Each structure stands twice: as C-alpha cells, then as structure tokens.
C-alpha cells in the first residue's frame, strides 16, 4: 500500500452509506472511503458470519468491538478481540473471517 496524492481529510462514518455483502452465512456491512488504490472501511460482521471466499488481498485489520476468527487456508486460525490488529500482505496467506456473535472492524487495504 502506498499513500500518495491523498489530501488531508476527516471521515464522518455516519454519513458514509452502508453496503451489504452476503457471506456464506450471515452478512457484512461496509462503510467505505476509497482514495486512489487505498480503501478505508468500517466493517460489521453479523452474528454467524462466515466469509464466502478465501481472500488474497493484503489488509490491516483492527477490531473496534467484538470478536472474530481469522482462518488461514493452511489450517491455522487466530482469534482477535477488541483492540487487536492483524496485518497480511497481498498474495501471501489466503484468509477468511468468521464471527460467532458479530464484530466491528476498521480495515485499511
């Protein structure tokens, strides 16, 4: 990720329209701002959410509220709770998310 040509700005997340994305089970709701090749998102996973794909995109993912599990395609998994962050590079380790009770994330990619 390279942050270039992005002017200083603030984001009022309440004014960013939500986008619904179905999972294999449950759904995710995104509020997204995109500048160049960079997305900044507040993402909410519903209770019972399971992503519908293995993701290859790099992310910085920070848990704002709740808990979720990041599963890696090689069988590893990691539980993240409020205040925790994970980082993964593009095309490194395929991953997907699941959440039993729902979670709110800040994601930069």
- Tell the residue number behind the tokens 């009770």, with chain if given: 101
**This prediction's pTM:** 0.93
Instruction: Judge whether 62 lies within some domain.
Output: yes
List pLDDT tens digits, range 20-48. Answer: 999 999 999 999 999 988 999 999 999 99
SS percent in the chain: helix, strand, coil, step 5 = 5, 55, 45
CA-CA distance, 30 to 28, in Å (whole number)? 7
Q: Which residue range is the domain that position 46 belongs to?
A: 30-108
Instruction: Judge whether 37 lies within some domain.
Output: yes
List pLDDT tens digits, range 59-86. Answer: 999 999 999 999 999 999 999 999 999 9
CA-CA distance, 67 to 5, in Å (whole number)? 34
Instruction: Judge whether 17 lies within some domain.
Output: no
Asked whether the CA dihedral 101, 95, 2, 17 is positive or negative, the reply is negative
Number of domains forming the structure of the chain: 1
Instruction: Judge whether 2 lies within some domain.
Output: no
Instruction: Tell me the CATH number at 96.
Output: 2.60.120.10
Instruction: Judge whether 25 lies within some domain.
Output: no
SS3 24: coil
Instruction: Judge whether 39 lies within some domain.
Output: yes
Instruction: Judge whether 75 lies within some domain.
Output: yes
Instruction: Judge whether 52 lies within some domain.
Output: yes
């Amino acid at each position: 990720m390279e942050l270039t040509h992005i002017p200083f700005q603030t984001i009022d997340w309440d004014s960013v329209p939500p986008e619904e994305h179905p999972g294999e089970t449950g759904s995710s709701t995104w509020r997204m701002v995109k500048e160049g090749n960079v997305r900044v998102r507040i993402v909410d996973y519903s209770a019972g959410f399971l992503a519908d794909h293995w993701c290859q995109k790099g992310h910085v993912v920070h848990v704002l509220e709740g808990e979720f599990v990041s599963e890696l395609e090689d069988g590893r998994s990691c539980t993240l709770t409020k205040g925790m962050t994970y980082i993964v590079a593009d095309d490194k380790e395929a991953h997907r998310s699941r959440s039993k009770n729902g979670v709110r994330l800040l994601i930069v990619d």
